[in-house]
Amino acid sequence: MYIVLEGDILRLDEVGVGIPVVIKEIHGTGALRRRILDMGMTPNTRIVISGVASGGNPIEISGRGYELTMRLKDAQIIEVVKIHEG
């Protein structure tokens, strides 16, 4: 269970490694948005950035019981909020 923390909505590319967040909204249109949704990155999904490649791109995301890799540019269209787990 988690509690959504009050505060700013962030873009996924602004979140640090190991900070749990919940997806609030996926912006964008067309194939990119569909691909992100097809990867399981849907609103109200809990995720954590679990790693960053050297140079900062791409990022590795843990969520829904699996890991996926995403370009930093694609992460910019995903709005998230920080959560507290407990």
Q: Give the predicted TM-score (pTM) of the model.
A: 0.89
Q: Around 62, how many Cα atoms within 13 Å sit in the side-chain half-sphere?
A: 11
Amino acid 78: pLDDT: 97
Domains of the chain, CATH where assigned? 2-85 (2.30.30.90)
The C-alpha atoms of residue 15 and residue 51 are separated, in whole angstroms, by 11
Amino acid 6: pLDDT: 63
Asked whether the predicted pLDDT for residue 86 surpasses 90, the reply is no
User: What DSSP string describes 15-79?
Assistant: PPTT-EEEEEEE---HHHHHHHHHTT--TT-EEEEEEE-TTS-SEEEEETTEEEEE-HHHHTTEE
Asked whether the predicted pLDDT for residue 57 surpasses 90, the reply is yes
Tokens of 75: 């992460």
Picking from 67, 33, 24, the residue whose alpha carbon sits closest to that of residue 49 is 67
Amino acid 56: pLDDT: 87
Asked whether the predicted pLDDT for residue 47 surpasses 80, the reply is yes
Amino acid 5: pLDDT: 67
Residue range 29-45: mean pLDDT, rounded: 94
